[in-house]
Amino acid sequence: MTHSADNSWQGRWWDLPPLILHPFGRGLEASTSFDSIKLALHLAGMGEPGVEKEPLLRARYTEFRMLSLVGKDVMRWLAQCVDFAGRDRVLADAGIRPQSFADLLVNRTPPVVAARFESWGVMDYRRVLSRAIGINAVFPNPPDFGVISAEFLEEYYAYADSLFACYQGLTPFTPLEPASFGFSLYTSDEYLSTVKGALDDEKA
C-alpha cells in the first residue's frame, strides 16, 4: 500500500543515517551453505537417498540466524530513519513510515548501495534484505535451534518472503526515490574502523 500526503520533499536531497550490518559471512562457512543446498535438493526429491536431515537442518538454522541478526540491524536503521524524518519539517507530514525506508532499501536500492553489496559478493541482496526484515518482524532475537520446528526451517524462505509482504502491507506509506535519499552502507567492522580512524585523526 502506498500513500502520499505531502510530496514537497521531491526534488530535494537528504542524507539518511548510515546502515550498519552484521557481516554476512560471519559464522557461515562454505560447508554450511553447501549443507543448506543439500537440504533444498533433499526436499525437492533430488537429494542423496538415506541422508541424515538434522545436520542439514542445523546448517539451514545457521543461515536463518544470520538473517535474523541482519534483520535486527535493518530494523534499527528503519527506526533511525523514521526518527530522522520526524525531525524534518518537510518530511514529518509526508506520510513516511518504516515501510517507506524498507521499500527504498529493498526495491529502490540506491546504485551506490547496490554496488557495495555486490562488492561484498552479495548479488541477491534484495532477497536477503527482504527476508531479514520478514524474519526479524517475528523473531527480534534469533531463537535456539530446538525452539524452531523442522517444518519451519525447511521452508523458512517462503515464510520470510510472506512475512516481508505482510510487513510492507501493514500500513499505507509514501514510497521514496533514490534521487532524493541516500545513505552509506558499512559492515559493523568497517564502521568501527571508520570511527576509530576519525578519532585518531582528531587526536593527531
Mean pLDDT for 129-146 is: 93
Mean pLDDT value across the chain: 82
d(CA 146, CA 58): 10
pLDDT higher than threshold 60 for residue 18: yes
Q: Which of 68, 73, 59 is nearest to 28 (CA)?
A: 59
pLDDT band at 104 (very low <50, low <70, confident <90, very high): very high
Query: Is 65:146 a contact under the CB 8 Å cutoff?
Result: no
**Higher pLDDT among residues 5 and 160, named by residue:** 160
pLDDT band at 59 (very low <50, low <70, confident <90, very high): confident
Tens of pLDDT, residues 28-56: 443 344 344 444 444 444 445 455 567 77
pTM exceeds 0.95: no
Q: Which three cell numbers stand for residue 148?
A: 524452531
pLDDT higher than threshold 60 for residue 198: no
Beta bridge partners of 14: 181
- In this prediction, residue 138 carries a pLDDT of 92
Tens of pLDDT, residues 175-185: 999 999 999 99
- In this prediction, residue 195 carries a pLDDT of 64
